[in-house]
Structure 1
Amino acid sequence: MIPHNKENQISSVVIKQISLLVIILILAGLICFNLALFIPSVLGAITIYVVCRNYNFYLQEERKWKPWASTLVLMLASLIILILPVYFIVDLLIEKLGNAQAYMEKFNIFVNKIHDFVDKETGINILSKENMTKVQSFAGKYSTSALSGTFNTLTVIMSMYFILYFMFEKPRFFERILASAAPLKRANVSLIGEKMRKLIIANAIGLPVVALGQGIIALIGYFIFGAPSPILLFALTAVASMIPIVGAGIVYVPICIFMIAEGQTGQGIGLGLYCLIVVGLTDNVLRFTLLKKLEDIHPLNTVFGIIMGMNLFGFMGLVFGPILISLTLLLIQVYRNEFSDEEIPELQLSDKDKGEDLENKIDLIV
């Protein structure tokens, strides 16, 4: 008779759980793979939903508007306030940089001019010939890939508003589905909801406002000091200002050197001082007032999020990339809190939220 070792036998409950998880992952993978083109639309719809959520509840539940009326009003408002300014900058960059061959010829002349000037004046060979070729090749490849991910912007926006309409029309029902589908504790679901709200508003509202503010201030300087292609430089400065640490300097510093190399010494120095003082002050004021109130995002999250986001979604990744990285880190924390046997301190939103009842504060669960 063969002994039956029940201690080493895998529980039938565990086998069922693993089998169900495998099936869920396979189906989810198939859905994501076949609907990958709609991922930016879904992310955009969620972003606008979070930004306009309170207004939607106010119009439907307090002002007693019809769902379709509040939905259409908020969709139109978000289109005018949020989408069109971003679309204008993206469309401007596509128009200016769409001709890749002409753009790369101008870029090569620009880089060579700066390199020759610095080498002549300081004797410092900032880039070898081999590195110069790598820089030019990288710029061409990266700009082309970023722009190619943006040509379907109109399709993304149309499908995004199609999804958003059904999210806005029955918001309580939509949130109830999300909450019931999450296999987490109620407090962790509420935590994710509140944290995501702050991250989305900081990235969808805070970063574009900072970028637009710096771009407009820099544009004034470009016109005053006679910089070449000031409108294009405005768009590039606005986009570059979203990158932490280097920020807008990655655009205006080479432009100032280029102007000096072209013989416009006074204008180049003047523009450099203007950007360093005025544009830099604008950046600090906006970041330490607006962004600090919204959500304090770590610079590395933003840097790697922008790189990843632009590879995945084109220019729309400037907003979605940092959100995805922050969400991933948050889910790791939630996993440890949910399943680890270690003594882990309770996850908290911020110091100002301590002592408050998280579930009463957040009405994600309906």
Structure 2
Amino acid sequence: MNKDKQISNIAIKQVALIAIILVLTGLICFNLSLFIPSVLGAITIYVVCRRYNFYLQEEKKWKPWLSAMVLMLASLIILILPVYFIVDLLIDKLGNAQVYMAKFNVFLDKIHSYIYSKVNFDILSKENMDKVKGFAGRFSTSALSGTFNTLTVIMSMYFILYFMLERPRLFEKVLSSSAPLKRANISLIGDKLRKLIMANAIGIPVVAIGQGVVALVGYFIFGAPSPVLLFALTAAASMIPVVGAAIVYIPVCVFMIAEGNTGQGLGLAAYCLVVVGLTDNLLRFTLLKKLENIHPLNTVFGIIMGMNLFGFMGLIFGPILISFTVLLIQVYRNEFSDEDSPPDLELPGKDNDEDGKVNLIV
């Protein structure tokens, strides 16, 4: 064999080392899979609190432990408790799966019978009705089961977050130096990841809770059944692109009309279409556009994947993982392209953060 075509010892060592790293990483992730949501949550809150952490530690000269504890408490009150309240409310209301499914089946049958009596059109066959009921049962059971370890996830998440916030420069330096990428691509990942996290961790929950609160007012005004439960369902459904909160309030309105409350049902429908719809558009075009414009397909598939992996916490983490995977594909193309510095990734020789220090990752 020609010596020029032989594989060099360096290449063999690189492949062997990469294989060992992948095997060990797989073992770690497999055995510590329970803590993956905690790590994702810690990174999410770190990115949200990063600027304030540097301000308190380097401008105000606070002690690192004090800055970390204050920001952890603030994030718990502002970010975690509202989401936890909705999740806990759903668990409390839907905790008895048999009772919930019995009510859901009556609800669905009532809507189907009313539509068939009015338009003489079988919108759902018996087979499709059974499929919808079965899917709702499986989905609710899996989603609720994924939330029972929420307290454990939150506790371990803040345990990890404390060490990130206490020595943020060291944390970022370790991540930056460990990444086998060009500096331009590290900066690209940091900037995009920050925008994705801010849009998903702040923008989407704010839009969801805003729609839920506005819809809750309408549910009380027009006498909808179980308005507090509908508030939680509306807030969760509003995260789904295209259909959004309509997937909750339209069946409710039809159910109220089928029950004989025609005026209240029509009034709630008009309220939700106008007021709730206007709230959704207002928040999305003002808040989300300033953060990051996430493609609806990323959100749809991210929510499906995230709910299967993390329960309700997947509503936030799922879209981030999908968008981050697409970003890594772009980084791979840029990293191994013939051009050393792609035009869209040209960055200054020194990337400075707002606080005057080198921005290592985000």
TM-score range relative to shorter protein: over 0.9
Amino acid of the residue matched to residue 317 of structure 2?
Answer: F
- Maintained 8 Å contact 2:211/2:276: yes
2:271 aligned to which of 259, 274, 277: 274
Aligned equivalents of 2:59, 2:154: Cα separation in 1: 29
Aligned equivalents of 1:173, 1:253: Cα separation in 2: 51
> How far does residue 198 in structure 1 lie from its aligned partner after superposition?
0.5
- Maintained 8 Å contact 2:42/2:161: yes
Structure 2 stretches lacking a partner, 5+ long: none
- Maintained 8 Å contact 1:337/1:347: no
> How far does residue 7 in structure 1 lie from its aligned partner after superposition?
2.7
2:242 maps to what in 1?
245
Do structure 1's residue 364 and structure 2's residue 341 form an aligned pair? no
- TM-score, with length taken from structure 2: 0.96
Aligned equivalents of 1:326, 1:79: Cα separation in 2: 25
Do structure 1's residue 32 and structure 2's residue 29 form an aligned pair? yes
Amino acid of the residue matched to residue 360 of structure 1?
Answer: D
Q: Residues 223-302 of structure 1: matches in 2 within 5 Å?
A: 223-302=220-299
Aligned equivalents of 2:32, 2:20: Cα separation in 1: 18
Do structure 1's residue 330 and structure 2's residue 327 form an aligned pair? yes
| Closer/same/farther in 2, CA of residues 359 and 297 from structure 1, 3 Å limit | farther
1:188 maps to what in 2?
185
> How far does residue 131 in structure 1 lie from its aligned partner after superposition?
0.6
1:84 maps to what in 2?
81
2:130 maps to what in 1?
133
1:352 maps to what in 2?
none
> How far does residue 16 in structure 1 lie from its aligned partner after superposition?
1.0
Aligned equivalents of 1:143, 1:267: Cα separation in 2: 28
1:351 maps to what in 2?
none
| Closer/same/farther in 2, CA of residues 21 and 166 from structure 1, 3 Å limit | same
Amino acid of the residue matched to residue 286 of structure 2?
Answer: T
- Maintained 8 Å contact 2:253/2:268: yes
Do structure 1's residue 110 and structure 2's residue 101 form an aligned pair? no
Structure 1 stretches lacking a partner, 5+ long: 349-354
> How far does residue 199 in structure 1 lie from its aligned partner after superposition?
0.3
Q: Residues 318-357 of structure 1: matches in 2 within 5 Å?
A: 318-341=315-338, 345-348=342-345, 357=348
- TM-score, with length taken from structure 1: 0.95
Q: Deviations over 1:52-106 (max 9, x none)?
A: 0000000000000000110110000000000000000000000000100000000
Aligned equivalents of 1:265, 1:358: Cα separation in 2: 67
- Tell me the number of residue pairs that the alignment of Structure 1 and Structure 2 aligns: 357
Aligned equivalents of 1:190, 1:298: Cα separation in 2: 22
Residues 334-343 or 67-76, more deviating: 334-343
Q: Give the match's secondary structure for 2:351.
A: helix
| Closer/same/farther in 2, CA of residues 184 and 231 from structure 1, 3 Å limit | same
| Closer/same/farther in 2, CA of residues 123 and 326 from structure 1, 3 Å limit | same
- Maintained 8 Å contact 2:351/2:359: no
Q: Give the RMSD, CA atoms, in angstroms.
A: 1.5
| Closer/same/farther in 2, CA of residues 110 and 358 from structure 1, 3 Å limit | farther
